[in-house]
Amino acid sequence: MDALIVGRAICGLGGASMYSRVMVLLSITILDYEWPVYFGLCGLTWGTGTILGPILGGAFTVSSATWRWHLQETPQTVNCDNIGKHCQIDNYLSSQGLKSPSFDVDAPTEPLVPSDAPEIEAARSELIDATLMLHDLILGPKEYLMKFTHDWLISMQAIGRFNIAKSIPIHEEVSYADIAKRCGVNELDVRRILRHAMTLRLFKEPKRGVVAHTAASRMIAEDQQMADWVATTSDELWQAATQTVNAMVKHPGSQEPNETGFALANGTDKSVFEVLSQNPPRAKRFGSAMKAWTEGTGYDLQYVIDNYSWKKVDNGTVVDVGGSHGFACTRLAKAFPDLNFIVQDLPPVIEAGAKTVPSELSDKIKFMAYDFLKEQPVKNADIYFFRWIFHNWSDKYCIQILRNQIPALKKGARIVINDNVLPEPGTMPRWREERLRSMDLTMLELQNSRERELEDWAKLFEDADPRFTFKGGKQPAGSNLWILEAVWDGDSTTQ
């Protein structure tokens, strides 16, 4: 018969293994008797009996009673072995001598699973999805909608604006009064802000009236890029987000980068790039925050090095359009010494980048000032490479950028793009899809730009010029970005 959940779900930590630490207490009713049920990802314990085999939903037989757990979006029978692979994570961490995840101040801050273990990362990803599903379902629709998520950013903004994390030594306990003095903030406000942040696992109150670090707050205190990320999301992105719908009303369907939520929030008719260029400290913080985002394992340039046929243009020329300081070309030049590289970006960026290229690569990597909204000056190169450029621009400007390359293209020249591709809904773990779609909205609020599905990329090339042949692309295992390619099949347009 069906077992109906009538009690509560409690997630806690404690126990010997990673999976026994992720436990849930449920009360279920079978044969008019309420049973307390404790289960982890690798087993279910009720009364004095244990069913080995992971349980995340489905029908199971316990003694003579068959019960169905209604914690599936669509209840269905699940083979116990389907979730057993999650035990791989615990085994992997143990075999590699790696620490288990923790909220403790001394917990590891590097990614839980290295990039060279994609099957373990896949298990982690499914585990995240499963626990989020459980949380959301047990919460119920009303409480789910009333989570006051907007208030999270008040805490984050205050922590960033007043440098609260840095005011607390890593392994010390500090009173609210002392934090208030150090940060120049009212003590009551400090207490309210931090006690709210503690519900998000930022800081902890080991005894009444004193504050100490958790793993997450320690990162803000010690990692400047993470501190800049916290400040940028609350001071820049949040402000832009609150004005985005107003911008949509004021400028319906706009593709202009200065008709955005960011522009309204800043009281300007300039784009985000123009605004930041006029305020170097602000631009530096924004750039640091973006670097924090892209330095995760899923953005490693090694994916580009290993998963595109660079050798098919041996002794050829690669133009890195919008290539910043030449980080990508430096890595590529070391891997493919027969190639030659030209890094293009705006003058101040190029000036700084030219000073950072290793001396042994100075004859292989050249720098050139270039605005890709204008005609491409480098003729007859083999590859024009764009890494994370097009998602910053609306279709109107992406088409313009592509058309600006055409006068430089020889027959067979390639446009290679390393960028996001939106998935078909429901085809990847929900938490990963949510991050991509959040990035899509971020591009809307900042630039009126967007992330694109694969067919959107094909249409960009078709609309730019039918002589482009879009070859599609692939997402290397473990990479957050795709590698896309189009070939110029027209006659050489160069003089």
Catalytic residues: 391
Q: What burial letters (b/e) apply to 300-314, b meaning 16+ CB within 10 Å?
A: bbebbeebbebeebe
C-alpha distances out from residue 421 to 29, 147, 451, 456, 477, Å: 46, 30, 7, 9, 14
C-alpha distances out from residue 465 to 145, 386, 452, 472, Å: 46, 18, 19, 16
**Cα–Cα distance for residue pair 303/307, rounded to 1 Å:** 6
Q: Which two tokens stand for residue 406?
A: 């055409």
For the beta carbon of residue 52, count every other beta carbon within 10 angstroms.
Answer: 10
Q: For residue 3, what is the DSSP state?
A: P
C-alpha distances out from residue 407 to 341, 375, 378, 395, Å: 19, 7, 9, 20
For the beta carbon of residue 121, count every other beta carbon within 10 angstroms.
Answer: 21
Contact call for residues 342 and 322 (beta carbons, < 8 A): no
To the nearest 10°, report the CA torsion of 108, 113, 116, 122.
-170
Q: For residue 163, what is the DSSP state?
A: T
To the nearest 10°, report the CA torsion of 363, 365, 366, 368.
180
What's the per-residue H, E or C state across 400-418?
Answer: HHHHHHHHHCCCCCEEEEE
In the block, residue with structure tokens 């042994």:
360
Contact call for residues 342 and 318 (beta carbons, < 8 A): yes
**Cα–Cα distance for residue pair 135/132, rounded to 1 Å:** 5
